[in-house]
Amino acid sequence: MKIFERFLHIDRRIIFVLIFIGVALPLIWTLGFNLEVTENVESVYNLMEELEPGTRILISFDYGPSTKPEIQPMAIALMEQAFTNRIRIIAIALWPMGVQMCNEAFEKVSAEYPNIEYGIDFINLGYKVGGMVTINHMAKDFRSTFPTDGGGNPIDEFPIMKGIKNFDKLGCVISLSAGDPGLKQWVMIAHDTFGKPVGGGTTAVQAPIMLAYVNEQQQLVGLLGGLKGAAEYELLVNKPGFATKGMDAQSVAHLIIIIFILIGNIGYFATRKKDTMKS
């Protein structure tokens, strides 16, 4: 019976070390588990695929470096898909760090698309505070919300902004979000008030909540949830990247955590039975 008691008191530093190793090793030696694309990810992909070349979409970068590993791969994959299909991107950020996240992604992707030009195929309008109120404001009066791009140049100078006064001329809205303000606010305003299709990617923490919006009312067309969602999207656009590479490590770490949950519970039940027998 002693072994069960020991089950209950494994030093947490052992767990820390095992998690560290469990994540590190599969990064170095990939195992190559197979990956399946799920419905919600495919819906976002199809939403983008069905847009006509030249259509302008809005991508909102509502995250920062703290959740970069989960969301940046989505941003990169989405940009790849957009530029391949000649979809034009108007980028904004509701989180101040989103501005730099967006520029990093653009720098990385645009290197492979030499004919993509800032101001024609892509623009970064920078950060605005205010969350839902600001989204509502830009839906009514885009130009007074964003009089300039992120570098302080008037938006009238850029062809991509021609005729954009509200959301009417946008093909769809995509929000890459790590919390509040983010995807929820976009669903509430862009779709539920102004009828624009909204798709998006969130951290895995947010995903179960946001899934309630992926419904018959199409409040949310589809959802990329966490690193797995990003990996599936990389598979769809055929550009395996960071997310795909991370999936093995993710799987191994989950397995370690599940094993520890089991050990803890086995110990718990075994010792509890003993306790009740004693009493």
Partner 1 sequence: MEILMHRIGIWIGVFLTFAIFSFLYKDNPFYKIAEQIFIGISAGYWFIYTIYNILIPNLFVPVTTDFAHNFILLIPAFLGILMLCRLIPSIDWVSRYALAVVVGTTAGLFFKRYLQSDVLNQLTATMLNPFASSNAAQIIGELILIIGTITGIVYFFFSKKHEGAFGTTARVGIYFLMVSFGAAFGYTVMARISLLIGRLNFLLGDWLGILKP
Partner 2 sequence: MRVYILLVILIFFSFALCAQDISFTASDNPNDDGGAILLEWNVPPSFPEMIITRSIDKENYIEIARVTPLLKTYIDDENIEDGQEYFYMLSVPKMNGETLQSFSASAIARAQWFNTDKISLLIMTILLGSAILYFILSARRGKRLYIRKISGLDTIEEAVGRATEMGKPLLFVPGISDLDDMQTIAGLNILGHLAEKVAQYDSTIYVPVCRSMVLSTAKEIVKESYLRAGRPDAFNPDSVFYLTDDQFGYVAGVDGIILREKPAANFYLGAFYAESLILAETGFESGAIQIAGTAMPTQIPFFVAACDYTLIGEELFAASAYLSNEPNQLGSLKGQDVGKAIIILTLLVGVVLEMFGIHFLKDFLATH
Partner 3 sequence: MKRQIPMLITFFVGALIIVSEFIPHKPFGNLSTSLGGWFLIISGFAIILGQLSLFKVNIIKISRKAPNWPYFIIALVSFSIMVTCGILWGTQKQPGLIPISDKMLNFFGYKPFDYIFKYMFENLSATMFSLLAFFMASASYRAFRARNAESTLLLVAAVLVMLGRTTIGSTLTCWIPESLGFLHLPNIASFIMKYPNTAGQRAIMICAGFGVIGSSLRIILGIERSYLGGK
- Site for partner 1, rule CB under 8 A: 13, 16, 19-20, 23-24, 27-28, 66-70, 96-97, 99, 126-129, 132-133, 136, 144-148, 150, 152, 187-189, 192-193, 203-205, 207-209, 212-213, 215-217, 219, 225-228, 242, 245-246, 249-250, 253-254, 257
195 near partner 3 (CB under 8 A): no
Query: Which run of H or E residues covers position 88?
Result: strand 88-93
Closer by beta carbon to partner 1, 8 or else 204: 204
Pairwise CA distance, residues 278 & 43, whole Å: 58
* Binding letters toward partner 2, positions 26-65, x by CB under 8 A: --------------------------x-------------
**Interacting residue with partner 2 among 10, 19, 104, 192 (CB under 8 A):** 192
CA quadruple 64, 69, 74, 77: dihedral sign = positive
Contact partners, residue 116, CB within 8 Å, separation at least 6: 83, 110, 122
Query: Which run of H or E residues covers position 274?
Result: helix 242-278
CA dist 151 to 95, 99, 128, 155, 251, Å?
16, 11, 13, 10, 41
**Interacting residue with partner 3 among 6, 165, 254, 273 (CB under 8 A):** 254
195 near partner 2 (CB under 8 A): yes
Closer by beta carbon to partner 2, 70 or else 248: 70
State the minimum distance, in angstroms, from the CB of residue 54 to partner 1. 27
- β-bridge mates for residue 174, sequence order: 59, 199
Query: 159: cis peptide before it, omega within 30°?
Result: no
Residues that bind partner 2 (CB under 8 A): 52, 163, 165-166, 168-169, 191-195, 205-206, 209, 217
